[in-house]
Amino acid sequence: MTVLTGPRGFGPDVEAEILLSRDTFSIRYDMDRETGVISRRGHALEGCSLAGKIVYFPAVQGGVAAGWAFLALVHRGVAPAAVIFGRTNPVMIQGLVLAGISAMHRVTPDPFTVLRSGDRVRVSPARGVVEVVR
């Protein structure tokens, strides 16, 4: 069942558990780039590993570190399976494209109204849809 839609995204279809964040995302400020674990004190996902998950962030912050960081996560085996944004910026997408990680943005409705962390979903960037897998 389709729960989220957005413009055409990047990358192949991916199926995994979703992790929803109410807080914004910055690679340099929020994440331990060695482990892929959210490390910033007080972040909604503090202590959560992004490895293998489809992750949702409402918005992003910060600079160009994201450009290389996703590729590094892939090499360490701790990369997310896909990343979904409300609003994103170019460096996040440049980094995800380099790393070959699927990505979408400008999804509607608010994922918190239709999904919970732990739900199993399939992201289909080419069609611009996110479906719940029951």
Q: What is the DSSP letter of 113?
A: G
C-beta closer to other proteins: residue 49 or 117: 49
Residue 35 binding other proteins, by CB under 8 A: no
7 binds other proteins (CB under 8 A): yes
14 near other proteins, judged by CB under 8 A: no
The two structure tokens encoding residue 33:
């780039």
**CA of 52: how far to CAs of 10, 42, 101, 105, in Å?**
17, 23, 11, 19
> Is position 37 an interface residue for other proteins (rule: CB under 8 A)?
no
**Residue closer to other proteins (CB basis): 92 or 114:** 92
Q: Are 115 and 20 contacting, i.e. CB atoms less than 8 angstroms apart? A: yes
Q: How many CB atoms lie within 10 A of CB 6?
A: 19
Cis check: omega of the bond before 111, within 30 degrees of 0: no
Residues in contact with other proteins, shown as a per-residue x/- string from 94 to 113 under the rule CB under 8 A = xx-xx----x-x--------
Q: Which residue ranges make up the site for other proteins (CB under 8 A)?
A: 7-10, 24, 28-30, 33, 40, 59-69, 71-72, 74-76, 87-91, 93-95, 97-98, 103, 105
